[in-house]
Structure 1
Amino acid sequence: MLATATRIGLRSVASMLAISALAFAIIASMPSDPVDIALRAWNLPATDETVAAMRSQWGLDQPVPARYGLWLSQFVAGDWGRSFRTGEPVIAEFFHRLPLSLAIGISGLALAALLAVPLGFAAALKPNGMADKASRLLSIGVQAVPSFWLGLLLIWLLGVQARLIRPFSGDASSWLLPIFLVALHALGTLSRVYRRDLVEFTYKPHFRTALAKGLSRRQALWRHGHRGAAYALLSAIRSEAGWAIGSTAALEILFGLPGISQFLVQSIAARDHMVLQAYVMVIACWMLLMNACLELAMRRLDPISA
């Protein structure tokens, strides 16, 4: 297990370096000069001295490879630079907003995984039954309906009509709906993946052997089919983790939550390179960390694959 963890860690570090270099090159080639945008936003005179001083202060007067090397060394040391737009340290802005974004994404995925097991099991226990039809309808419905549209509908129903929640108040109710929407979208897919593996298990000889020994269908599925279905469920969560990031970004803006995705949207128009680069690295770290944790868990469930 230690060798596996080391191999995954080295692969993650190599991926982070490749992602950082590619993202830095793309962001550096974006049209519009952030200095020009800052001068207009701050109502500063566009003199040659002012422009030269700002470009020197932000390191924009150096070649891209030199800027990347300087940025990477500072980033690893914990200096993520300063925001062109706010003038505040980027790392302070992110650490202030990151817990909210992580809470929504991780809580939504965890809730979906928790609910996918009983829903998928009930669907596999009675194919074409009510639970099976409900999980199928949920899987198709959430794929067809955008999360922000469903969020608007829930705000109108629960906030305006029923007055059960206060979505823009900043209290716990403003967190619950985004978490619920992330979980709802992932639940349909995860439950169908779990159900599919259990149904496939029923065609295998050892399932019929378990029935011949006197186990009920429910007992045979849970005792002998759950482990394989859980393996498939973890594999599906890896792909859903990427969707949760994009969904969280849309929901933060919809519900007015001060997460890192909302900060990113505000920084894109200003061509705030430091913020954009830090966001890419944080998201890449999130994806690689989730992938590493889930891969280790999957290897624990299936030691032969290790």
Structure 2
Amino acid sequence: MLRFTLRRLVLAAVVGIAVSVIAFMLLRVSGDLAIALAGEDASPADVERIRQEYGLNRPIIAQYGEWLWRALRGDLGRSLFYPESVANLILTRLPVTLSLAGMGLVIAILIALPLGIIAALRRNTWVDRTALGIAVIGQAMPNFWFGLLMIFLFGLALGWLPISGSDSFAHFIMPAITLGWFSAPVLMRLTRGGMVEVMNSDYIRTAHAKGLPARVVVLKHALRNAIVPVVALCSVQFGNMLSGSVVIETVFALQGIGYLAWEAISRRDFPVVQGILLLVALFYVVLTLLADIANAWLDPRIRRG
């Protein structure tokens, strides 16, 4: 297990470096960054002054090396709009997005696992078809539209929940359900497929033949093996929720990094956009690493492979 973990750590470090290169280059391949910072109506002298002030006249390798060295020390530069550093700005907004994504993932799992297990155990029945129908509807409906429907019903018509802000737990209920509802179908289908395959295995028939209770066979023997790909997908879905929070936080006016990213893009606050891009990408790397380790712990064959 230790050797497997070390190999994954080395691979994660390599991917992290590649991610930093992509995050650094994305804002530069779209055009002259100096012109974007100075504005399209800026004079050539102003553009040149911006280029010298931000070091954009130096070789790209030197710019990347300095930016990476600062980023490793937690210095992501200063915002062009807010009077504070990018790191402080992101750290202030990050708890909102993490809370939203965490609640959304929990809701997605609470919906997906029971439906997937029941659909697999009642395959080709009305229960199975109903669960698959829910999955199709969940993925066909855009999450922002589902969020607007919830705002209209539970916020405006019934007045049960607040429709904007992040001051209390109640403010996160509708956004979290919106995120979870959109992510649940893919988890449910994967759980169902894995359970159907596992339930037809020889060791499951042997467990039934030994007289083990159905609950023990399903939850202890079948689910443990069927859930391995679900664990990996949950890490990806959590990353998707972090990046997809841009839309949900904008709809519900949550002051997280998603709403911050939308503000930074609309205001051309490039250091903030770059910092958020790097952070979310690194979250994907870390989550994938943790999922690999968890899968190796659940399934010894992965470690040996």
Task: Output the TM-score relative to the length of structure 2.
Answer: 0.89
Q: Deviations over 1:160-197 (max 9, x none)?
A: 11111111143332211111111112222212211222
Once the two structures are aligned, what percentage of the paired residues are identical? Answer: 29
Q: Does 1:177 align with 2:174?
A: yes
Deviations 1:10-42 (A, max 9, x none): 21111111121123222123236456655689x
Give, as a single letter, the amino acid of the residue that structure 2 aligns with 1:178.
P
Per the alignment, do residues 39 and 196 of structure 1 end up closer, same or farther by CA in structure 2, a change over 3 Å counting?
Answer: closer
Residue 105 of structure 1 deviates from its aligned partner by: 1.2
SS in structure 2 opposite 1:165? coil
Give the equivalent residue in structure 1 for 2:97.
101
1:268 corresponds to: 265
Q: Residue deviations 1:88-127, cap 9 Å, x none?
A: 2000100001111111112211332244332222222222
CA distance in 2, matches of 1:236, 1:47: 50
- More displaced, 104-113 or 30-39? 30-39
Shift, 1:61, TM fit = 2.9
Structure 2 residues not aligned, in runs of 5+: none
Instruction: Write out per-residue CA displacement over residues 74-97 of structure 1, whole angstroms, 9 at most, x where no aligned residue.
Output: 111121111123242000100001
CA distance in 2, matches of 1:122, 1:83: 50
Cα shift at 1:278 = 1.1
1:29–1:271 CA distance, 2 compared to 1 (3 A): farther
Superimposed CA distance per residue, residues 254-288 of structure 1 (whole angstroms, 9 cap, x where no aligned partner)? 11111112111222244333222211210111101
Whether the 8 Å contact between 1:178 and 1:248 is mirrored in structure 2 is no
* Aligned position for 1:296: 293
Q: Secondary structure at the match of 2:30?
A: coil
Contact 1:267 1:276 in 2 (8 A): yes
Q: Distance in 2 between matches of 1:259 and 1:242?
A: 15
Provide the residue aligned with 1:25 in structure 2: 25
Counterpart for residue 120 of structure 1: 116
**What's the secondary structure of 2:185's corresponding residue?**
helix
What is aligned with 1:203?
200
Distance 2:85 2:149 in 1: 37
User: 1:82, 1:88 within 8 Å by CA — same for their partners in 2?
Assistant: yes
Cross-structure match for 1:240: 237
Change in 2 beyond 3 A, CA 1:97/1:52: same
Match of 1:277 in 2: 274
Counterpart of 1:7 in structure 2 is 7
CA gap 1:52/1:273 in 2 versus in 1, 3 angstroms: same
Q: Which moved more, 1:59-68 or 1:289-298?
A: 59-68
- Select 2:66's aligned residue among 57, 66, 70: 70
Note the aligned Cα RMSD (angstroms): 2.4
User: How many residues are matched?
Assistant: 302
Are 2:243 and 2:280, in contact at CA under 8 Å, matched by a contact in 1? no
Report the TM-score, using the length of structure 1 for normalisation: 0.89
| 2:235 is equivalent to residue 257 of structure 1 | no
Q: Distance between the aligned counterparts of 1:277 and 1:201, measured in 2?
A: 44
